[in-house]
Chains A and B, each alone.
Chain A
Amino acid sequence: MTSPPIMPVILWTDALVFLLVAVIVVFAWHVRRRGHLLASWRKVVHSRSGMAAAVVLATFIAIGLMDSLHFRPRLAEDAGGLKVSYSVEMLSLFDVVATHLRTRPEKTYSAPLATHLFARETVEMADGRQARHFPRLMYGGAHLANPEAEWKWDVTKRALAGVAGAILLWGALVLMATFWLSKRGHRGVAEYWRLIWKGGSVVPWREILVTTGVLLLVLVPILLLSAKYHVLGTDKVGQDVFYQALKSIRTGLVIGTLTTMVMLPFALLLGIMAGYLRGWVDDVIQYVYTTLNSIPGILLIAASVLMLQVLMDKHAELFETVQQRADAKLLVLCLILGVTSWTGLCRLLRGESLKLREMEYIQAAQAFGVSGFRIITRHMLPNVMHIVLIAVVMDFSGLVLAEAVLSYVGVGVDPTMISFGTMINSARLEMAREPMVWWSLTAAFVFMLMLVLSANLFADAVRDAFDPRIGARPAAPAIISKHLPAAKNS
């Protein structure tokens, strides 16, 4: 009997991430069958900036999900094959895809696309004299025999090939999308083509396709170049910065989503109970959240994280590998952030529930003798869901930003875990170097900006669609009615 080549490992955050995915799928299925919810989501889908942001966000989420499938590869078996041991190091599906980024460490700093190290080193020459020069990189541009002469041409060639590939890929994608859409919309391909590029389709396909095109134009050349170079350079220990930036995405996504997920039950239950039951329940809940709120947030987080640190040091045997330990810390950080940030949502929900309990349909339910629990779950909960949804999407970007700050103060994620915060933290000192090492910081900046910006834009689209106060705007651009009287299906 042969043992499997890998041993799957499900980290705590992995399990929760996939639980979240399952919840979203169930929710989507639920929405499909309910007209009023579907109408609001249609508004999100019709938002131009929202859908462009969704394309970028989907790319990030895909990378994050790939990075959430962990396993431990099998080590080489000993002679009899009796004892199978698995590596202590845990890999994710993403690590396998990015093997060439992960397994080619240089000695130390090297600039983006460089062929030589960033710092001079003293090397002994063949005749015994010592000379100081920039040594060649072990992997970056190692295929070039004469880097000074060939480097420029090689980089240009690869970049151009990437651009050409991106254009081809994108063209194929656009054609496929147009054919598929025109078939679904029962109209001619040419007609639909014009419709898309005039911005007349109900779903903003033009914006979606253009965003995809820009993404491909940036990503494909980078991927081609990364086969032979370190596109974003390497850091102090020679680790590829591009790889680090990609790995940071998962940490950011986990913090942004799981935090709200762990705080939601508290906020929902307590908020609705306070608003619906009133009386002493309301007093107690208000007391709890005012107390929690009045402690400066960062101090509460710092104290909790320090406490956790001591606890983990005392029970080091609980964690098999370093990564499991780091993961547990990430999860608890989410919990702590959740505990400190549920108060705002709780207060909103309390206010809304106070309003709802005076509504006729709630009073009718009470008159019919429906139990309090049933009124809360059946009648209150669905009617505060829009507040919850808006809060969840609006909180996401703030949490991603908070992670960076917390890691800087030293109460964030585990130092061994790659995140935007740890990247910035270690790159901070490099700014003082002469000449300056700028690429780590720039990479963290660009990736973080893209993630947070697309999350913000998407959140705005969701808020615009679900906030009842913003109802006056037309759902779809007026141009539709001009071009297409009956554009309902697309």
Chain B
Amino acid sequence: MAASASLPTPPGVKYGGPTQIFINNKFVSSVSGKTFKTVNPSTGEVIAEVAEGDKADIDRAVAAADEAFSKWRRVPGENRGKLLTRLAGLVEENLAVLAEAESLDNGMQITLAKGNVKGLASWLRHYAGYADKLHGVSSPLSASNQLMYTIYEPLGVVGAIVPWNFPLSLAVWKLAPALACGNTIVIKPSEKTPLSLLRLAELVVKAGFPPGVVNVVPGYGPTAGDALARHMRVRKITFTGSVTSGRLILKAAAETNLKKVTLELGGKSPIIVCDDADLDEAAFFAYNGLFINQGQFCAAGSRVFVQDSVYDQFVEKAVELAERRLANVGSPQNAVSRHSLYPSRYPSLPLSPP
């Protein structure tokens, strides 16, 4: 059996996953009725037409999240944790469809996509465990008739803008802790990779999350992303992506309600290989740490410092590994291929993750 035959959508069959905006646990068209095409970068073919959210849709999603927050914040931590745990189980059960969406849309090797999806269940369970352990401290004051204590309160609606390189992982890293703490969330995936998050949204309903707790609005950075970053009811915005977009988001927050901002931007991460290192091991990890997902990895080890006396040997090993990778070039949906698309297909737009 060909490796790709195990995918839920066989070649030639129309993509069957959700393609609309997810608000209040329902998939809906965009207010404008507009759609955009999402393309399989390994073939250049259109996978699906996706509803294009802009400011009007962000407004609807934030209103839904805001309304849901008033009740969600009162849901006991134990129950929030239970829902996240249930979502983790559903992610595992639906590994194949989630990984397929990720691989088709992003060009990620299917084996890497499956590994990542499997990992998501761990992240969800990890944060599920925090949900009932968010406690503050008490402090003895000088006056004997005074009581002082602190509590952790959720912020409210959290906005999340997620890039295309690891769409599901980065969304879950933002979603899981936000929900565990009692916040609600509006996520804008990259316009290049909306499909896997819409699959996850299906599971959010199945898990039993109340409507409005999780919302997903596919769209472009300058429209949907900007509206989310500027929304007065969004209390925090979290973004992973390019430095250029990060600056715009910080500025948008500063110019509106000074919402809290979390940015995880570019990298040029060094790897230092000393002359006493196990060279095979070092070369392998340096190779994998750079070429994983074709170098489209924020923490990619893109500067490898190698000590003089082992330098030539290391370069030889690096070339061997690259050669082997090239020998396995192929469709990302084929489990044996190791090397696939490269990102020149993806020019960065302002406020659009790289």
Determine if chain A interacts with chain B.
Answer: no
